Structure 1
Amino acid sequence: MDYTIYFQNSLKATRDLSRLNNTQINNLLLNLADAVELKTDFILQANQQDLDKMDPEDPKYDRLKLSPERIADIAADIRNVSALKNPLGEVLEEKSRPNGLLISKVRVPLGVIGVIYEARPNVTLDVFALCFKTGNVCVLKGGSDAEHSNKAIMEVIHSALGVEGININVVSLLPTERAATHALLHATGYVDVLIPRGSQQLINYVRENSKIPVIETGAGIVHVYFDLEGDLTKGKGIVFNSKTRRVSVCNALDCLLIHQDRLKDLAKLVEPLQEQQVEIFADERAYHHLEGHYPEQLLKLAEETHFGTEFLSYKMAVKTVKNIDEALDHISAHSSKHSEAIVSDNLANTGLFLDQVDAAAVYANASTAFTDGGQFGLGAEIGISTQKLHARGPMGLEELCSYKWIVRGEGQIR
């Protein structure tokens, strides 16, 4: 199959999208949010077809699953996006040169954004809303696990666009076959940037095979370090929330690091995790302090492979360190540069941690669950960038923009 027509239509649609004003954009988003809620049953029926094909024990099952509550939340997020200030056209810098030229640096869309993602049908709506708001056309490539869900959602989006007389090619959903992924990775001249959302394996594949610039997002190998002067009450809440709020998301805790002189408090620190049946893989020293104090069936000796693993489930590693420097070394060796946290009342140690940890979001005495565009006041996000070029951390509306220089003159020549 020749996928070029998808990319050609997307490129042409950028001009149609550029002609829409803020009122038209916001009205479409508000109408789409209403349509999504009205079509809840239709979307859930399609989602159930996908769920029926997946093992409920699969870590991706929770990401795939939609519910009336989750659909209502998605619709609310679309309305939030409509209410946000549109960054397009913002003048970032303006200067008048001695020769009379007036030079402005102005925010503009990235252009055509390709997004490759796995079993996360909410991404279809999230990405469209953010791209549409910022004048970006999007080409979506969802996984086969969410095929029916994505098709149903795309039908709702295209219907809303059609009602408003807007070119439906401002968003397109590629077929699920692998050939479509290959075509998207090589769509030079049509697609301006690719954003993979999913496992580290997916991100690595896209980065290694794409001929288009890639913004890496999503993979989170997350640590919380409980320091010598960590507050036990704060630590219990932070560890529990970071691990169990939603285990299948990229900001969920994977490895608890604990100062060796606080091992006596380890059992109390992880005690709340028993409520959610969290399985712990502990190094030898931590294991002996938990033995008899944590359910036997949930406690295992850690292997080296458990450190540096993104579990995406009710599992967690525990590693004993002798001091903050060893904690920093461990994080440096195993982090995916997503979210890292320290629990400590020692200002020198928290300062050292915040300065030296190389990650998109670094926390002192707070849960890693806050790494989210909404929680950061961005309104929404297209993903969490774990790289340093262009954008880092939650990518909101501004991060979906580039800029161009506009030069006004009165006949000057050089």
Structure 2
Amino acid sequence: MGGKQKLRSDKRQRNTAAPKKKSFDLIKGDKHGLPRGRGLKTTVLLVIVGVLHISFQIQSVSSLALLVGIQDFYEPIIAMVINQQATSLLSLSDSYPIPDIKELVESKTTRTCPPGLMPITNTHFPTSVVHPTGRKIPKIIHITSRYRCATPAVINNVDKWRFQNHSVYFHDDEAIDKLFTHPYTRSQFPTLREGLKCVTNGATKADLWRYLVVYMYGDIYTDIDNSPTGFNGETIQETDDAFFTIEQLGIMSQYFLASSVGHPLMAKMLEVGVERLKATVNVMVNNPAKATGPGACKVGFIHFMAEVGVETNGYIEAGVYFGANNRSVTVVGKKQRSQDFVNRNGLGGNDKAIYYKALGIAHFNDLRKTYPRQGSISCMEHLKRTNGTDKVANYHYVEELKAYREVNTTTVVNKF
């Protein structure tokens, strides 16, 4: 990998080489972060210049993110982190508040489950437990699927992630939509609002959501069919800013990821996913593997490293990498042993098939047969047709016409 920082040999092969220095740095100085040997006027001037510099840095994190303060449900206002030594001098307080996670995951539609299915429950610990002072990534695990009701095998698999002092939150489609449509999300990520109009399968929806929820709250995300192997409640260290395993392709895992709040890598992945989704030729056939899933994860990392002048093709080894805004990402494992930390087939093929059938979930590859490319409508064409609305693409193929026609319904019926 061209320009890749040298790895230090330790148990996780951390790459701790110092990143490139900025043109000037207000952080170095005395214990209060003030420059040494400066007069009062000079110090004041430097602070003013620093605020302007920090404003520019935050604004360049992603074209998806506006320059507003990041308000966390754990704290009233958190400072925007610039590097590992100190926090920003700037903290804006006029943004929309981020919604409380417990309010997001409170289901209003799933009260009872059909025979043979059970609801996936949430586990909640107070902020002082899951996000103690000094820890970057909170001890909170997010899991998603279409409905909260699940088979016993899925329930048992989810329970494997209930580590000591870790909150576990399950997000069904209702919870995901709450986050996507919340005023904070719409103001902070205007391009995402547009891209969501072209989301036509659950996998694509879950891809974009995982980047968003981890960016906004920090925390850990895992697919519902993953099971922990070498990973446990103590694997992520206090100083880890983001955490990934290496999957069998040799790229960072998209089925399992974690970061602190406001991490630019999450913003990059979300940005790439939205842009690729908007380039979809047939809006009714999303290709999450390339557009919003592993492909977006890999390219997002490439963009993250490019901001500090490091070229990579996204195929990496274990280590600690510094990228945009001097933020870091810890990567563990080997592609030859991709299940050492997380087994992405932990649920098992038969149990997964039974679960999908019970909930009426179709794999995205099966949709290609239903929606041929001939006469298809692209995402950009759909955006033009629905300009000024939030109408999600919903077309069906008319064989006699060899063309697509819009389905005249906007009603979504919850299965349970």
Structure number having the greater helix percentage = 1
The alignment's TM-score, normalised by the length of structure 1, stands at 0.28
Structure number having the greater strand percentage = 1
